[in-house]
Amino acid sequence: QVQLQESGPGLVKPSQTLSLTCNVSGRSINSGGHYWSWIRQHPGKALEWIGCIYYNGRTHYNPSLKSRVTMSVDPSKNQFSLRLSPVTAADTALYYCARSLCYAGSCYSDSWGQGTLVTVSS
Amino acid sequence: EIVLTQSPGTLSLSPGERATLSCRASQSVSSSYLAWYQQKPGQAPRLLMYGASTRATGIPDRFSGSGSGTDFTLTISRLEPEDFAVYYCQQYGSSPATFGGGTKVEIK
pLDDT tens figures, A49-101: 999 999 999 999 999 999 999 999 999 999 999 999 999 999 999 999 999 99
pLDDT digit string, tens, across residues B32-53:
899 999 999 999 999 999 999 9
Which among A45, A104, A110 is the nearest to B95, CB-wise?
A104
pLDDT at B67: 96
pLDDT at B31: 85
Going by the DSSP 8-state scheme, the letter that residue A86 receives in this structure is: S
Q: How far is CA B23 from CA A117, B1, B68, in A?
A: 28, 16, 10
Given CB atoms, is B50 within the 8 Å cutoff of chain A? yes
SS3 B11: strand
Given CB atoms, is B17 within the 8 Å cutoff of chain A? no
pLDDT at A44: 80
**Is residue A31 predicted with pLDDT exceeding 90?**
no
The answer to whether the Cβ–Cβ distance between A46 and B101 falls below 8 Å is yes
User: In this structure, which amino acid lies at residue A68?
Assistant: R
Going by the DSSP 8-state scheme, the letter that residue B81 receives in this structure is: G
Q: How far is CA A102 from CA A19, A117, B9, B23, B47, in A?
A: 24, 25, 28, 21, 14
pLDDT digit string, tens, across residues B69-88:
999 999 999 999 999 999 99
Nearest CA in chain A to B103: A46
pLDDT at A76: 92
Q: Which residue has the higher pLDDT, A110 or A43?
A: A110
Which among B33, B44, B90 is the nearest to A112, CB-wise?
B44
pLDDT at A118: 98
Maximum separation of any 2 CA atoms in chain B, in Å: 38
A37 contacts A30 by C-beta, under 8 angstroms? no
